[in-house]
Structure 1
Amino acid sequence: MVATSAKDVDSAEVVKHIAHFLKKSGKVKLPEGADLVKLGQSKELAPIDPDWYYIRCAAIARRLYSRPTGVGGLRKIYGGKLRRGVQPNHWIAGCGSVCRRALQTLEHLKWVQKGPEGKGRIISKQGRKDLDRIAADAKSKQVAEQY
């Protein structure tokens, strides 16, 4: 039987299961002011979902599973258009401090480590193992719901 990886399961399902695992484990603490922070200059309000930090950490972990990247790359991923009224829209990068804190949280869990020569972050062996286990669990639940 072939082992299931985090790439084999639907990304939304994997992120949801990873976020649930992070919240349930109790090892991830919400940063101070998490209810007030905006996720970028292009946003008007703070996130509505109270579990947004767990979801962001889970999404970053899944993304690092596929491709190593750093804070700058994550800012590009989570950027958006800044609406300026009657002036043309501009693209603007996402919040760097949220990406940085999420990476630091994942490093604290030993899921992420610094890349070679200090460039970006990569997923660690422990992180790959845990994400594969969570993905296999998510896939088994998805198969069980079909029948």
Structure 2
Amino acid sequence: MVNVLDIPGNIFNKRLAKYLFENYRDKIKPPYWANFVKTGPDRERNPDIPAEEYNNEPGWWYYRAASILRRLYIKGPIGVSRLRKYYGGLRKRGMEPGKFRRGYGKMVRSILQELESAGLVTKILDNKNKGRVITNEGKSILDKLANEIYKDLTKDNKNLVEYIGNL
């Protein structure tokens, strides 16, 4: 059976963002400040597409939510600080060498809270493993979506079946 790890991340995130936009639009909504903020400290401008909706397609907020949901599926219990590290980048400083800066925690925290209210993510507060983890409902959605994408990709490219089988 195919899972999320077998599908390329850019294809999966695009499809998952559309799914979240169509089915969870009432639970996952960008806040008012999402249209004015940069997506990370290493960026120079805010995104060209709006956060909410762009030509009846999901905005950048849904793509970030899909990326965070995929990251939770792959890495297991993960907290805001590790997600900030993942979404950080090299901040340019003119002639001096760049320095790594962590991503914005408010953005990650807001998306995680929205995913929790949608029932796709839950908190774990054990002594050893703290953070957020994907729920069974979220896992089933991601696995079904991965199977659909795999079927679509194998229709187009027969060599992909052999490639994924050799992984």
Q: Which has the higher contact order (CA 8 A, sep 6+)?
A: 1
- Corresponding position of 1:9: 7
Q: Which amino acid aligns with 1:7?
A: L
Aligned CA RMSD, in angstroms, stands at 1.6
Structure 2 spans left out of the alignment, 5+ residues = 51-58, 159-167
Displaced runs of 4+ in structure 1, greater than 6 A?
Answer: none
Q: Displacement of 1:107 after TM fit?
A: 0.7
Q: How does 1:45-56 map to 2 (within 5 A)?
A: 45-50=45-50, 51-56=59-64
TM-score normalized with structure 1 length: 0.90
Residue aligned with 2:34, SS: coil
Give the whole-Å Cα distance in 2 for the aligned partners of 1:73 and 1:140: 33
The gaps in structure 1 that reach 5 residues or longer are: none
Q: Is the 8 A contact 1:5 1:136 kept in 2?
A: yes
Letter of the structure 2 residue corresponding to residue 133 of structure 1: K
Matched, 1:58 2:66: yes
Aligned residue for 2:133, secondary structure, equals strand
In the alignment, residue 42 of structure 2 is paired with which amino acid? S
**Which of 88, 98, 104 is 1:95 aligned to?**
104
Q: Distance in 2 between the 1:138 and 1:109 partners?
A: 23
Report the residue type matching 2:47 in the other structure: P
Q: Work out whether residues 38 and 44 of structure 1, in 8 Å CA contact, stay in contact via their aligned partners in 2.
A: yes
Normalising to structure 2: TM-score of the pair?
0.80
Partner of 2:163: none
Of the structure 1 ranges 129-138 and 117-126, higher mean CA displacement relative to structure 2 is found in: 117-126
Range with bigger deviation, 27-36 or 57-66: 27-36
Native 8 Å contact 1:38 1:95 kept in 2: no
The whole-number CA distance in structure 2 between the counterparts of 1:113 and 1:49 is 29
The Cα of 1:134 is off from its aligned counterpart by: 1.1
- The Cα shift of 1:146 comes to 2.9
Compared CA separation, residues 89 and 15, structure 1 to 2 (3 A) = same
Identity of aligned residues (%): 35
